[in-house]
Structures are given as C-alpha cells and as structure tokens.
Amino acid sequence: MILVIGEALIDFFPASCGQEEGYIPRPGGSPHNVAIGLGRLGVPVGFLGRLSRDRFGRLLRESFERSGVNLRYLAEGDEPTALSFIHVGGAEPEFSFYGTATADCMLTSLPASLPDDIRGIHVGSLAMMREPIGTAVTAFLSREHGKRIISFDPNVRPNQITDREAYLARFGRWLELSDIVKASASDLAYLHSDEDEGAVAARWLKSGVQLVVVTHGATGATGYLGKEAVKIEGERITAVDTVGAGDAFTSGFLAWLYEHDRLSHDRLGSTSREELRSALEWAGRVAAVTCTRRGADPPYRSELH
C-alpha cells in the first residue's frame, strides 16, 4: 500500500446558474486527488487525514470510497471542511482558500507505528504549511524516514505562506526526509527564482533525495536521477482545464514505480534511464486525460488504453 497524508477539501468551480454565475462543489485537495488517482489506477492506497462530519466531509468520504481508497487511518471531527474557490482561464488555475481551524489542518494524532505492507508515503501541499498538522506530519516523517519511500510534492501556494523565510527553512527539512520530490515549474519559481532547474535538482539530489521530477504543464516534464536527466514532451490534447493535472501526474508516476517494484531504497536508486522515461510517459498520459475533463477527475486504468 501507498499511504497518502494531508488535506481533503471542497473545490468550488464557476458555473452558470440561469442568468447568474454560481459555483459547483467538487471534492479536491492535492493529497485527496493523489489518493483517488492511485485508487483508480488499481494501486492499493490509504489516506491519512481528518475529515469534517459536515455535509462536505461526507462528500469527501464518498469520493474516497468510490475510488477504492482505504480509510483505515481516517480521523473525523466537528470542525468545518476547508473550501477553495477556483478561477480558471489563465495559464494555471487560481485558488482562493477559505478556512481557519478546519478539520483538515487539525490532525495532530498520527499512528504510533505502520505495518510493513505500507511501502511508500506521499505528502505535500497545504498540510505541510498549516498548523497543527504541519508539525505533526514533519515529526511523523522524521520517524518513518529510512523505513519506507517518502514522496513529497510541495505544491506551493504563495498566498497561504505568511513567512517565506520560515517556510524555506522547513522546506529544507522536508527535502532531507524525502526520497522522491515532484515539483512544478511554478514551485521552482517561488522556491529558487534565480536558479537553473538542473542546478536546483542537482542540489536536491545531493541533499539525499533519490529522484526529482519537475513538471512543465503542456510542454512535458523532466526527471533527474543521479547524473541522468530525462525529458518527455507533453501529449497533444484539447484541454478543458488543468485543475488536478499535477496530482494526476504524481499518481501515475507513483503507480508506475509501485507496479515495477521500485518503492524501496535499493530498487529506486537502480532505476534505469529507460525505466525513468517510461514512468514519466505513463504519468504524463494520466495527467493528459485528466486535463480533458473538468476538475480533478483522474482516469481509471480502463480509460488509458
């Protein structure tokens, strides 16, 4: 199993309501999207997070269940569900987040131990920059580091970061705990705006990360493994929107590694250039299909042939 940790929230998409504009609620949140993406690809996956008992929380639970996500590690509370309003039309969707002390960020109690069948842990996004969940997850990763593969997607949201220097300091710690880091070009623009991508990837690899992937939206992605760099082109599609595309890419990439028995420290490091290309192309295909429909709606395996 792959265990995904973090937030699940409700995305509101713009929609026409008669003569007025309104919004439609959809399950979302980067960790939620990665978890359901893995489940739909047939990978055993669990979600560790906290949901509200309100109507939106029930909607999120139903989303996990429909996609085959194991909810053994799910917690519940009476806090409200966090909300996000999405504005599409630009190069990338814009998110306006609403929620203070919402259920997702109030996760403080994580399992004292994990069974051996959990081969990988994926974390990232808002859960790492909000409290008290951020401190709890960082401590949890410190304990699990070296025991199983840890995947990290910063999914940086600058409008949620109140202290950039403090965030960058914590980011350095998360790198030390990670084996796989997937970041977008916009993430790098915030983290290291004046540095070349290859130089940043090389420094991350030197810090202990085994594999770095940088996505470039429609133009493809680049994987860095040791001294190897593999670039793939993006698939030509008619995109509806790009919401959840990066999360779908992460799901596809982790699914490939899982299915090819690469989620161990010795096996991950011995991944060949050709295997890395195959993993990137499969992940790119999963992301491309997601972009052909509205919102974070990753494909089932049967839709990828």
In tens, the pLDDT along 251-277 reads: 999 999 999 999 999 999 899 999 999
Q: Which two three-digit tokens encode residue 14? A: 């713009």
Query: What CATH number does residue 65 fall under?
Result: 3.40.1190.20
Distance CA 208, CA 120 (A): 17
pLDDT in tens, 165-215: 999 999 999 999 999 999 999 999 999 988 999 999 999 999 999 999 999
pTM score of the predicted model: 0.95
The β-bridge relationship of strands 83-87 and 94-98 is: antiparallel
Residues 6+ away with beta carbon under 8 Å from 63: 8, 27, 32, 36
Residue bearing tokens 């593999």: 230
Q: What is the pLDDT of residue 274?
A: 96
**304 found inside a domain:** no
Residue 47's CB is within 10 A of a number of other CB atoms, namely 27
Assess whether pLDDT exceeds 80 at residue 88: no
**Parent domain of 53:** 2-16+23-298
- Asked whether residue 207 is assigned to any structural domain, the reply reads yes
Q: What average pLDDT does this structure show over 61-88?
A: 94
pLDDT category at 14 given cuts 50, 70, 90 is: confident
Please report whether residue 212 resides in a domain. Answer: yes
pLDDT at residue number 226? 87
> β-strand 50-52 against 149-153: which pairing, if any?
unpaired
Please report whether residue 263 resides in a domain.
yes
305 occurs within a structural domain: no
pLDDT score for 25: 93
Q: How many domains would you assign to the chain?
A: 1
The 10 Å CB-count burial string (b at 16+, else e) for 86-119 is beeeeeebebebebeebbbbbbeebeeebeeebb
- How would residue 222 be classed by pLDDT, with cut points 50, 70 and 90? very high
Identify whether 50 is part of a domain: yes
Nearest in space to 13 (alpha carbons), one of 92, 85, 83: 85
Return the pLDDT at 193.
87
Burial 197-235 (b: 16+ CB within 10 A, else e): beebbbebbeeebbbbbbbbbbebbbbbbeeebbebebe
User: Is residue 303 situated within a structural domain?
Assistant: no
The predicted pLDDT at position 90 comes to 61
Question: Has residue 107 been placed in a domain?
Answer: yes
